[in-house]
Amino acid sequence: MADFSALAGRPCPDWYATPQLGVFIHWGVFSVPAWAPRGESITELTRRRYDDVFALAPYAEWYANAMRIPGSATARQHAETYGDQPYEGFRPAFEAAAAAFDAAAWAALFAEAGASYVVPVTKHHDGYCLWPTSVENPHRPGWRSSRDFIGELAEAVRARGMRFGLYYSGGLDWTFKHRPIRSFGDMLACVPTSADYADYAEAQVRELIARYRPSVLWNDIAWPDKERLPGLFADYYAAVPDGVVNDRWMAERALFDALADPAALAAFDAQVKAAVLAGGEQHAPPPPHCDFRTAEYSESAGFGGKKWESTRGLGLAFGYNRNERPEDYLTAEGLISLYRDVTAHGGNLLINVGPMADGTIPAQQVDLLKAIGTR
C-alpha cells in the first residue's frame, strides 16, 4: 500500500499560501482547429446534460475527443471543414505557426496583469509534448516539439520575477488509450493503467522536474499508479523544497479498470449524476496528499480550510475557441470581482489564456489581463 505518512502535515509554502493571481496557458495542436460549441459553461452543462457533457463542452482543447463522437457539433464541424483528416494532421500547421512564439512578449503581459506565477500546459490529453522530451512515446514516436517552448517560457517568466509552474496531463493520454468520452465515468474509464503508460508518465514528470524545477506541479485528471506517488512527491520536494502539488492525483487503478464493465460504468455515472443534480459540489474527494485543492469554473471555497485555487478561462474554454463570442467572456469588472472574491476567501485565482496557434493572445484576452493588472 502506498505510504504517504512522510508527507503528512507538510505546510503549504508561504509564497503560495498568500492569496494571489496566477496565469494558466492552454496552447497546442488543438489551437489549430480551435473550435468547440459555445454558450454554456462546463458547470452548467454538467448539471443539465451530464450524459453528454464532453460532447457538448465548450472546451476547445478537447477537440480530439469531441470530433470522434458521432453526431456531435464538433464532429460535424470537422467533417465540413477538414473532411476525414485525422487530428494528427493538424501538427504541421501548429508547428509552422508556432515559429512565431515569443516567450518574452507573453511574460511581459503576464507581469503587467500582476501575476505571481505562470503555469503552461506541457502535455495535454492529446499527448503532444511542448518540450523536446527524451522519453519516447511508444505508441506515437516523435509526438513532441523539437523547440523547447517550455524552457523558453520558463526563462522569460523568471526574468520578470514570477514563479514558473507546469501542467501535465497524467490521467489522460489519448495516444495510449482513447475511446470517446461523453461523461465523467467515461473519462475515468479512459485513464491508462498499463505499465508502459505508468513508466512513461513518471519518466516524463521526473524529466520536467529535473529540467525546469517548477514551483507548481499541476497534474490533471488522475494518475495511473498510486504506489509510485509518495516517492515522486518526495523527490519533487527534494528538488524544489518550496514547491507545491495540486489535488488531481487520483490513482485508484481498481476503479479505472472496473469502469471498463458497462454495468459498473452505468452505476458510477448514475451515482455522480445524482449527486450533481442534488446540488453537490463538483469536486473530487481529497487525495492522500496535496498542497492545495482545485475548483474549476466554480467559485466555491468549500475545502474545509485547505489552501485552494480557482481556475477558469477568460471565456468558457481553456484552449482558444474561435467560435466564442464577446459575450462568452468575463467583463473586466467581472474578472476583478472574481479575483477579489476568491482571494478574500484565501484562494488563488489561476486565470487561463488560450493563445492562437501562432502564439498570439487574442485581443479580448489581452484587454482583460491588462484590466486585472489595474486592480
Q: What is the 3-state secondary structure (H, E, C) of 260-314?
A: CCHHHHHHHHHHHHHHHHCCCCCCCCCCCCCCCEEEECCCCCCCCCCCEEEEEEC
What pTM, to 2 d.p., does this model score? 0.97
Closest among 354, 306, 308 to 20, alpha carbons compared? 308
How far apart are alpha carbons 139 and 326 in whole angstroms? 40
pLDDT tens by residue, 127-145: 999 999 999 999 999 999 9
Chain length of the chain: 375
Contacts made by residues 87-91, CB under 8 angstroms, sequence distance 24+: 87/29, 87/63, 87/126, 88/140, 88/143, 90/29, 90/30, 90/32, 90/33, 91/29, 91/128
Answer for the pair 76, 93: CB distance below 8 angstroms, yes or no: no
How far apart are alpha carbons 164 and 158 in whole angstroms? 7
Q: Which three cell numbers stand for residue 101?
A: 512564439
pLDDT tens by residue, 234-286: 999 999 999 999 999 999 999 999 999 999 999 999 999 998 888 766 667 78
Note the CATH number of domain 20-372: 3.20.20.80
Per-domain residue ranges of the chain: 20-372
Give percent above pLDDT 70 in the chain.
98
Contacts made by residues 339-344, CB under 8 angstroms, sequence distance 24+: 339/21, 339/372, 339/375, 340/375, 341/299, 342/19, 342/299, 342/301, 342/310, 343/19, 343/20, 344/19
pLDDT tens by residue, 39-56: 889 999 999 999 999 999
Q: Which three cell numbers stand for residue 316?
A: 468558457
pLDDT at 13: 97
How far apart are alpha carbons 146 and 158 in whole angstroms? 22
Give me the mean pLDDT over the 151-156 stretch: 98
Give me the mean pLDDT over the 143-155 stretch: 98
DSSP label of 129: B
Closest among 237, 248, 217 to 6, alpha carbons compared? 237
Q: Which residues contact 285 (CB under 8 A, 6 or more apart)?
A: none
User: What is the Cα gyration radius of the chain?
Assistant: 19
Cα-Cα-Cα-Cα torsion 289, 154, 338, 44, nearest 10 degrees, comes to -70
The sign one gets for the Cα dihedral 64, 191, 292, 233 is negative
pLDDT at 281: 60
Cα-Cα-Cα-Cα torsion 43, 319, 266, 248, nearest 10 degrees, comes to -80
Give me the mean pLDDT over the 95-102 stretch: 98
pLDDT tens by residue, 107-132: 999 999 999 999 999 999 999 999 99
DSSP H/E element including 333: helix 332-344
DSSP H/E element including 168: strand 166-168
pLDDT at 278: 84
Residues forming beta bridges with residue 52, ordered by sequence position: none
pLDDT tens by residue, 281-328: 666 778 899 999 999 998 676 687 899 999 999 999 999 999 999 999
Please classify residue 280 by burial: count the beta carbons closer than 10 Å to its beta carbon, then call 0-12 exposed, 13-18 middle and 19+ buried.
exposed
How far apart are alpha carbons 18 and 264 in whole angstroms? 42
Give me the mean pLDDT over the 193-198 stretch: 97
How far apart are alpha carbons 168 and 249 in whole angstroms? 11
Query: Dihedrals φ, ψ of 238, to 5°?
Result: -65, -35
pLDDT at 282: 61
